Structure 1
Amino acid sequence: MVATGAIVVVNGLNPLSLMALAMGGALAQLAVGIAMLPKLSSKNAQNRLNAPLPLTARAEHPATANSTDDIPTPGDFKIYRQAELNRTTASLKANGAILIAGEDGSGKSVLAGAVVENLQDEGFMVAFIEPATPKQMLLEIAHQFDIPTEDLEGKSLTADKLKRAIADFLESNTAFLVLDDAHACDAKFRMWLKQLKRNGVPMLLLATDPPRSDVFINVPRIELKPLPEHAIREIMVQTAIERGIELKPSELSKLQERAGGNPMLAARAVDEEYLGLELEGADHRRYFDITPLILLVGVVFVVMRFIGLGTSDQALYIFGGIAAAIFLGLSRLLYNLPRESQRIR
C-alpha cells in the first residue's frame, strides 16, 4: 500500500519536480552520512606512508636511516609549540598578561614549564602555582618570592595582608606569576588577579574552557590547536622507545587515529598498547563541519518550494516548504553546538 501511494505521488510530479526532489534527497543523505563519520587525523593514505617511521623500522629502510635526528632520544625534552613559546615570553617581558587556553592534554603545562625555565634562565623571578585554597596559593606565591608570611610578633599573616604584601612586592620588583588551571581557582582569587593585572603585573594564566568573566574577560589569549601529525608521530615513537616496544608503521597509524592531535592522548595510546589493552574507536571526538552542506540542502529545498509555486505543483510546494523549515532548524541547532576545540576531551 505504501509503495502504491509513493508511485501515485511520483506520477503526479513533472520531470523538473522529480529532478529537484531527487537532488534534495541525495544531498540530505550525504549530509547525514558525513555527520556520522568521525574525522580521521591523517589527511590521506599517502601521508601515512610518508610519515616518519619508528627507529626499529628505519633500520630496515636505508632511505630514512639518516632522518632519526628529528626524533628526540629517550628522556630528552622537545618543545613542539615554539611560536607560542616565543609569543608568550615576549608578552610577559612587555609587562603584559596572557592566557593560554586549550583542551586537557594539549600541552599547556609543558608550554608553561618552558616559559618559566626561559625566564628563570634570564634571571627573572617566577612563581608557578596550581589551584588550591586562596590562602594556600597566596602562601605559595609568598614562599617562592621569599616574602615574609608572619608579622613582627610571629603571627601568620591573614589572606588580606598576604595579598597586600604580594602586591607591594610585585609593584617594586620585576616578577612573574604563572597559574596553572586558572579556571579552577576561586572566583575571589581571580578577581584579585584582575586587580593585579590592572596594576601592570605580568602573569600567565593556563585554562581549559575559561569562563568569559573576571580576569579572563580582558586578557589576550592563545588557543592551542591540535599538534600536526608529524609531531604526534614523534611523541608516539619516543614513548614506544621509552617503553621498550616496537611499533610497525601500520600500528602507529592506528594509534595516531585514536590520539588525534592531542600529545597526552598520543602517549596514552602507546601505554595502552604496551599494556596490551584492546580498544576500539578514537579517544577524541573530532567531526567534519557540515554546516555549509546543511545550508546548501536548505537552499535546495527553498528552490524546490519556488519551483512548485511556479509550476502549480502543490505536492512539491508543500514538500519543499516543510523540508526547508526542518533544515533551517537543524542549521540553527548545529550553529549553537560547541566548537570542535571545546568538544574534544
Structure 2
Amino acid sequence: MLVTGAIVAVNGLNPLLLLTLSIGGVIAIAPKLTFKVSSKNETQEPAPVIEQIPAPGEFRIYRQAELNRTTASLLANGAILIAGEDGSGKSTLAIAVVEKLQADGFMVAFIEPATPKQMLLEIAHQFDIPTEDLEGKSLTADKLKRAIAQFLEENTAFLVLDDAHCCDAKFRMWLKQLRRSDAPMLLLATDPPRTDIFINIPRIELKPLPEYAIREIMIQAAAERAIALKPSELSKLQERAGGNPMLAARAVDEEYLGLDVESGDHRRYFDITPLILLAGIAFVIMRFIGLGTGDQALYIFGGIAAAVFLGLSRLLYNLPPEDRRIR
C-alpha cells in the first residue's frame, strides 16, 4: 500500500480520479467500437435475396449480354440469329431488342409466322408502306416484296421475325435475298435447319438461365398467384424447369393446380465424360490387380473393358459438338 501510494503521489494522481477517467474513457470509446462492428457486419452480410426479386407483373431481362450484342449487330447493319429451345426466352429477348431500337428512334417491324401474304402485309403496315396501287387494288405478294426491299434500301429499318423456323421456305428465301442487299434483320428460331437464311447469318445459342434467375421467376410467379412456396418446394420445381424460364412459370402453375408432375420438358444435358474416364481407370486398375494376383480371368476382363472404354472415349471426342450430347 505504501509503494502504491508513493507511486500515485509521485504521478500526482488520485485513485478516485483515475477510476473516474477510466470509466469516462470506456464510455467515450464504446460508441465508436459499436459502430465499427455493426458496419463490418453490414458489409459482410449480403442483402436478402427477397429484396432483389421483381414485384408481381414487373419485367426483368436476364440476358443483358445477349441484348447488347444483338442490338450492336443490328446497328452495324448486320443480321443475327438467336436459337434456343422452346420457352428459353427468345421472344422476351426479341421484345427487349425492339423496345430498345424504338427508344433510339429506329423503325422496327416485329412479325410472327403466318401466311407469306399476311406477313408481307404486316411488315408493310408497320413500316407505313402503301399496300394498294393508285387504282385502289391490293398489291400482290411480289409487288409487296419489291416495295419492302426498296424501303429497306432507302431507310434505316429493322426486321424482327419470331419463330422463323415455322415460316414458309419461299419466304425464308426472300429473306435471304434481302440479306444479300445488307438488310438488317433479327431471326429467332427453335432448332433452325442449316439451310437457306439460317446458314447465312451468325447465330447466338441461348443457354439455360442460371439457378438464381429461375428461382426469382418462380417466386415472382408464385407471388402473382398468391401462393407461398417453401425452399424445398422451390428446389424441386427448379429441377423440373432445368434453366427454362417458361417451364419455371409452368411448374408454378402446376403446383398451384395441385398437379403431380415428376419431370419437365427441358433439354438440359450433363457431361458424363469424367464418369467414363473413371470407369476406364477402374478397369485398368482391375487389370493390374489380376496381373498381380495371378487371376487370369480378371486380367483378361480388365484389358478388354479398358480397350472398349478407350475406343468409346475417342469416338465421343471425334464426334461433332452437337452429337456429343448423351441423351
**TM-score band, normalised by shorter chain:** 0.7 to 0.9
TM-score using structure 1 length: 0.72
Is the 2:271–2:325 Cα contact (8 Å) retained in structure 1?
no
TM-score using structure 2 length: 0.75
The Cα RMSD (Å) is: 3.2
What does 1:48-59 correspond to in 2, within 5 Å?
none
Provide the rounded CA distance (Å) in 1 between the counterparts of 2:50 and 2:280: 51
Unpaired runs of at least 5, structure 2: 1-44
Provide the rounded CA distance (Å) in 1 between the counterparts of 2:90 and 2:325: 14
Find the residue that maps to 2:270 and give its secondary structure. coil
1:237 and 2:219 are equivalent in the alignment: yes
Percent identical:
81
Provide the rounded CA distance (Å) in 1 between the counterparts of 2:151 and 2:181: 12
Q: Which moved more, 1:238-247 or 1:209-218?
A: 209-218
Q: Determine the structure 2 residue equivalent to 1:220.
A: 202
1:160 and 2:142 are equivalent in the alignment: yes
Distance 1:183 1:239, change over 3 A: same
Deviation at 1:260, TM superposition (A): 1.5
Q: Which moved more, 1:319-328 or 1:295-304?
A: 295-304
Rg comparison, structure with higher value: 2
Distance 1:73 1:303, change over 3 A: closer
Distance 1:66 1:333, change over 3 A: closer
Provide the rounded CA distance (Å) in 1 between the counterparts of 2:304 and 2:48: 63
Is the 1:103–1:342 Cα contact (8 Å) retained in structure 2?
no
Unpaired runs of at least 5, structure 1: 1-62
Q: Determine the structure 1 residue equivalent to 2:168.
A: 186
1:264 and 2:243 are equivalent in the alignment: no
Deviation at 1:137, TM superposition (A): 1.1
Match of 1:121 among 103, 121, 140: 103
Q: Determine the structure 1 residue equivalent to 2:271.
A: 289
Deviation at 1:185, TM superposition (A): 1.1
Distance 1:282 1:329, change over 3 A: farther
Match of 2:258 among 276, 291, 294: 276
Q: 1:254-293 CA distances to partner (integer Å, 9 max, x unpaired)?
A: 1111112111111111111111112224443434212354
Find the residue that maps to 1:99 and give its secondary structure. strand
Deviation at 1:215, TM superposition (A): 1.0
Q: Determine the structure 1 residue equivalent to 2:125.
A: 143
Count of residues paired in the alignment: 281
Deviation at 1:298, TM superposition (A): 5.0
Amino acid at match of 2:219: V
Q: Determine the structure 2 residue equivalent to 1:252.
A: 234
Is the 1:209–1:342 Cα contact (8 Å) retained in structure 2?
no
